[in-house]
Amino acid sequence: MSARVSGIDAMAFHGTQYYLEMADLAAARGVDPDKYILGLGQRQMAVATPCEDTVTMATVAAHRALERFDIDPGEIGTLIVGTETGVDHSKPVAVYVHDMLGLAPNCRTFETKHACYGAMAGLTSAMDWISAGRARGRKALIVASDIARYGLNTAGEPTQGAGAVAMVVSEKPRLLELDPTSFGDYTRQVMDFWRPLYSKYAFADGHYSIDCYLDAFSGAWRDACENAGSWDPLRLDRLAACFYHVPFTKMARKAHHRHCETEWGKKVEREDTEQVAAIRESYDQQVAPWLELNSVVGNIYTGSLFLALMDYLRKAQPAGGERVSVFSYGSGCGAAFGTGVVTPEAAGLAERLDPATHLEQRRKLDMDRYEELIRLSETADHNEAPYPDPADWQLDRGLYFVGTRDHVRQYAGSAADTP
């Protein structure tokens, strides 16, 4: 029996109501703005208020995906939330989202955690669920939702961000048909980035993590070639676009450089001018045009790869039939590389998934308000903390976290009302 086809049928993004200009952060920290804007490739970063958390962002993004693509919540048979910033060591974010969306009781739910790889793990699990015949005509809802927060005056401060990307996976995808024969995996135990149970903030070995990321790409790509039976279907000259995990947008340049080296079977140094020029041209055509959303949202961990895919689908106006690649990396580490084919319907649906209106409605933070927000967020979910009030942040409508009472998280409002 041949495997059932599946792919991404709907997508939507939801971030925060506030953002910070990277130039303002640089000025406040006594840093040349080009270090952040050119060196990291970041222009702005989304900043979550104490009333915005992984649950609220995931729920709003999921609601938008279902509503804008005319999907009945009753059609969802699996809900997976990929996150590395969950709200409970035991209770999954997915259960909160399931309740707030009003999904059916026979919908299975769980949370996937493997640093920034969690959402890809959910996506491939949904593909397997459909392929195995367990879906029975239903669809899967996969949500990547995270808040990247490293604290004030830290090395990681300019690589923060927050947001959620929701994807509906079905047997008749309207956006991207995923090719299961082109997916490959890689896993290795490394200590490049981790967050102990007792810490609000992660620990990282930044340079080592980049090396781990690049090694994982080569390993996952080679496994994908073995799965496909040949590297020929995955060749760069057959790909219309390449999407990578981007904790900061310049990471995509490093990843694409390794992509070219891995395919060519040789290391390319600066003095190899012809090869360097070829990599630059490939990057400018296949990667760089689709990083705008990442540059104004910042690091959203599990969702960063899929935010780049959304940027392509909203801007490229593909005719259908274009093959694209996706690479997800999660520290610790786990990774996957695969490809998919854009559907003929995708171009006509670009407006439905474009988050431009939401991003235009965000409000700019000044440094004093930003630093106050970060400090308050550190303890906003503590049981003894004052209840965070959306009105304090001019959040007059929407779905928001409003504190912990008797050790139970409380939410108010509706995803349908969130701007």
Which residues form the catalytic set? 84, 116, 245
17 Cβ contact list (under 8 Å, min separation 6): 49, 52, 361, 362, 363, 393, 395, 398, 419
d(CA 201, CA 248): 18
99 Cβ contact list (under 8 Å, min separation 6): none
- Are 147 and 314 within 8 A, CB to CB? no
CA 222, 227, 229 angle in degrees (round to 5)? 95
322 Cβ contact list (under 8 Å, min separation 6): 240, 241, 316, 341, 342
- Single-letter code of the amino acid located at 248: F
d(CA 286, CA 139): 30
Neighbours of 345 (CB within 10 A): 13
Neighbours of 91 (CB within 10 A): 12
Measured in degrees and rounded to the nearest 5, phi and psi for residue 265 equal 75, 30
The rounded Cα 335 to chain-centroid distance in angstroms is: 14
- Are 336 and 184 within 8 A, CB to CB? yes
Q: By C-alpha distance, which of 42, 46, 10, 52 is closest to 413?
A: 52
Q: By C-alpha distance, which of 58, 82, 54 is closest to 148?
A: 54
- Are 296 and 40 within 8 A, CB to CB? no
Q: By C-alpha distance, which of 193, 164, 307 is closest to 244?
A: 307
d(CA 94, CA 89): 13
The SS3 of residue 4 is coil
End-to-end CA distance of the chain: 46
